[in-house]
Amino acid sequence: MPEHLLSPGHTACAGCAQSLAARLVLDAAGPNTIIVNNTGCLEVFSTAYPDTAWEVPFIHSLFENAAAVASGVEAALRQNGKLSETRVISQAGDGGTADIGLQALSGMWERGHDILSICYDNEAYMNTGIQRSGLTPTYTSTSTSPASKSSTGNPRPKKNVVEIAVAHGIPYVATASAGFPLDLQKKVKKAMAIRGPKFLHVHVPCPLGWRHEPDQTYQIARLAVETGLFPMIEFENGKISGRYLIAKLKPVEDYLKPQGRFRHLFKPGAEAALKEIQEIANRNIERYGLVKTAT
Amino acid sequence: MKDFIEGSEAVARAVCLCKPGVISAYPITPQTHIVEGLAQMVADGRLKCQFVNVESEHSAASVVLGAVAAGERVFTASSSQGLILMSEVIFNIAGMRMPVVLACVNRSLSAPINIWNDLQDSMALRDSGWVQLYAENNQEALDLTIQAYRLAEDSRALVPVMVCLDGYVLSHGLEVVDIPEEDKVAQFLPPFNPAEKLDTANPKSFGLLAGPDYYLEIRHDLHQAVKDTLKLIPEITADFKRIFGRDSGGLVESYRLEDAEMAIVSAGSVCGTIKDTVDNLRAEGKKVGLLRIITYRPFPEELILQALAKVPMVAILDKAISLGATGPIYADLKAAFQGKPGKKISGYIAGLGGRDITPDTIKEIFQQLAGPEVSNQFIGLKSSF
């Protein structure tokens, strides 16, 4: 067996957290896994003909239909009696999950297929050149929501796709981060042991799109969690069942400042926008109980 | 066994006899009777199959793509807007060489919204890399469906096949249909056992990115595979005749063309009306005939050239149009005959959105064919409405 089921030698950028997370996920899932992938960076950098980085069966069809293709794969495995020994993962980026792929994904969850769907969330359409998606955070500068004289960047809040998943009544929903590899793998293993639809939302910094140094990926990923901007939480059967408790809460500036996509927030006049982002973090902390309160 | 059934049921019975492992579909008129019939067969336990009710046609096509890639025989069906919503996946299925069989119950395209029959939906997908077969009647709809699996899954082909049948005219019209016995279908159609599939014991990657260094060759391969079915289809129909005892399907059908001075070229159920009209006109001493296109993609150019070689005047009756240009079959015929002078080739558009094509419509086309050559003449157009 190869050392990793997602082989090195693919063409992901230096510091790409999506490639790191995908490797961690697949190594945790094991070789009896079939990967169904939406169009996006992950597919492009791993499967340029005639090469492939995948040591497990892999299929890519279109941008928005991985969840439906995976449903077909699962139905076929159910039909030929191989579902007990084979696991199916359907994976996509943030756009492929929460925007263009949401309908197919919702259908897959609703139908109850035995599939783990994974969102590698790098918070914009990176494969096409850093355009805003429904998971782009408030006041992010992207190529279609550029910060400029009349704009503070993306004016809308990040869509709560995690709670959309929970609302489908599926047995397991969790978030994870490339900055917490062991936690990510633990959640993959937990999800794989549950039959039915599972959703794992993984936060993956993108040095190119977020404009930070490639060697900062890990720290940036951790800061998103430690500021409360990316809550690490678990839901089982509709109820919150796990949370990463932030030991030492950090101000959002610590997370935002190293990233070029938020540079405009540190110019004079952007104080209100910064305050709003801190309020988003505060609301997350309160909503999900991310900080241990003295009792 | 003979039964008096509608075209939808003929297709559903054919699919059941072919024993797919996964069926997925989304409701759209007038296709719904096919999948309702199949859902009932699954519910009754007559068909052991995963029936996946999806949230859109885009997903229906995607589900069967995934299932066939994982090694199961599959079926889906659609019409009109549903087929067009699927179109992204339709192209992708062909590019990935997935042997999907789809029944298209032909219906017009919106706007204006209209649920009645013409061929604009499937014709819009003629460039997708699918084999397209057009049924004239319910018996042929059943036979073509069984043949479609044999063709699609042939390791020399591995191309998807769309069986087209006219909405309402066939899908909801009752005819006597000979339903084949299960053992004969099993004799004709071997089990689906693809050489390449999603298999953890032998991991392969499907749906790769191909840059300018490879794309041209891969698309050429697909083009060649679709074209090569022109050789496989006669082989399959001959085998079909051997096992089931009837001629059915094929590339084209020549009807009373032997000494014809005028011929209409068309596809689908309208050919029944044309045959009747040809018989009546022949009885009046008029030398007219029909060339029916059964296989529209790949385009059986050589056979068409041969069949029409001695016919001086050819009318194409298209139930679809490339808006701003001509009917699709007309354009193909005209291209096939380019450089071959001395033949009049006129294009007529009729029957859009379910407007009846009657024997009088056919007679009018023959009359107009005697007049000036035209390329996109609408028949039966009201001057005001």
Strand partners, B78: B104
Task: Find chain A residues with C-beta within 8 A of B62's C-beta.
Answer: 61-62, 65, 68-69, 71-72, 104
The count of structural domains within chain A is 1
Q: Is B97 left (phi over 0), alpha (psi -120 to 50) or beta?
A: left
Alpha-carbon distance A130 to nearest alpha carbon in chain B (angstroms): 20
A234 touches chain B (CB under 8 A): no
Instruction: Return the closest-CA partner of residue B105 out of B126, B71, B82.
Output: B82
How many A-B residue pairs are in contact by the CB < 8 A criterion?
A: 162
Nearest by CB to B208, which of A33, A49, A76? Answer: A49
Beta bridge partners of residue A234, listed in sequence order: A174, A242
Residues A203, A264 contacting (CB under 8 angstroms): no
Average pLDDT for B292-303:
98
- Out of A79, A85, A106, name the one closest to residue B72 (CB): A79
Q: Are B377 and B346 in contact (CB under 8 A)?
A: yes
Q: How far apart are CA A154 and CA A136, in angstroms?
A: 7
Q: Which residues of B touch A (CB under 8 A)?
A: 21-22, 24, 49-50, 52-56, 58-60, 62-72, 74, 88-89, 92, 96, 198-200, 203-211, 214, 218
Helix (H, G, I), strand (E, B), or coil: what is residue B112? coil
Model pLDDT for residues B261-282, shown as the tens digit of each residue: 999 999 999 999 999 999 999 9
Q: Which residue of A has its CA nearest to B60?
A: A68
Domain residues for the domain of A161 are 17-288
Mutation site for B-interface testing, chosen from A1, A5, A69, A127 by largest number of B Cβ within 10 Å: A69
Three-state secondary structure call for residue B3: strand
In a domain, A156, yes or no: yes
Q: What is the CATH number of the domain that holds A134?
A: 3.40.50.970
Q: What span, in angstroms and rounded, lies between the C-alpha atoms of B178 and B159?
A: 28
Q: What gap in Å lies between CA A186 and CA B204, rounded to an integer? A: 27
Q: Which CATH class is domain B252-378?
A: alpha beta
Indicate whether A88 belongs to any domain.
Answer: yes
DSSP β-ladder status, A239-243 and A151-152:
unpaired
- Position A12 in a domain: no
Instruction: Kindly state whether residue A79 falls inside one of the protein's structural domains.
Output: yes
Whether A68 has its CB under 8 Å from any CB of chain B: the answer is: yes
- What would the pLDDT profile of B147-193 be if each residue is shown by its tens digit? 999 999 999 999 999 999 999 999 999 999 999 999 999 999 999 99
Instruction: Give mean pLDDT, residues B90-111.
Output: 98
| Separation in Å, CA B287 to CA A174, A261, B100, B307, B312 | 75, 76, 42, 15, 11
Contact B62 A68 (CB under 8 A): yes
Closest to B309 (Cα-Cα) out of B355, B271, B347, B263: B263
A3 occurs within a structural domain: no
Find the residue in B nearest to A32 (Cα).
B200
- What is this structure's pTM? 0.98
Q: What tens-digit pLDDT sequence spans chain A (295 residues)? A: 789 999 999 999 999 999 999 999 999 999 999 999 999 999 999 999 999 999 999 999 999 999 999 999 999 999 999 999 999 999 999 999 999 999 999 999 999 999 999 999 999 999 999 999 999 999 999 999 999 999 999 999 999 999 999 999 999 999 999 999 999 999 999 999 999 999 999 999 999 999 999 999 999 999 999 999 999 999 999 999 999 999 999 999 999 999 999 999 999 999 999 999 999 999 999 999 999 876 5
Answer yes or no: is pLDDT of B202 > 90: yes
Which residues in chain B are classed under CATH 3.40.50.920?
A: 252-378
User: Scanning the structure block, which residue is given the tokens 């679709």?
Assistant: B226
Cα A18-A21-A26 angle, rounded to 5 deg: 120
* Contact list, B68 vs chain A (CB under 8 Å): 72, 76
| A228 inside domain | yes
Q: The tokens 């609302």 sit on which residue?
A: A167
Assign domain B2-192+210-244 one CATH number from 3.40.50.970, 3.40.50.300, 3.40.190.10, 3.30.70.260: 3.40.50.970
**Residue A99 carries which DSSP code?**
I
ipTM reported for the complex, 2 dp: 0.97
Looking at the complex, report in whole angstroms how far the Cα of residue A269 sits from the nearest Cα belonging to chain B.
45
Task: Find tokens 């590339």 and name the residue.
Answer: B251
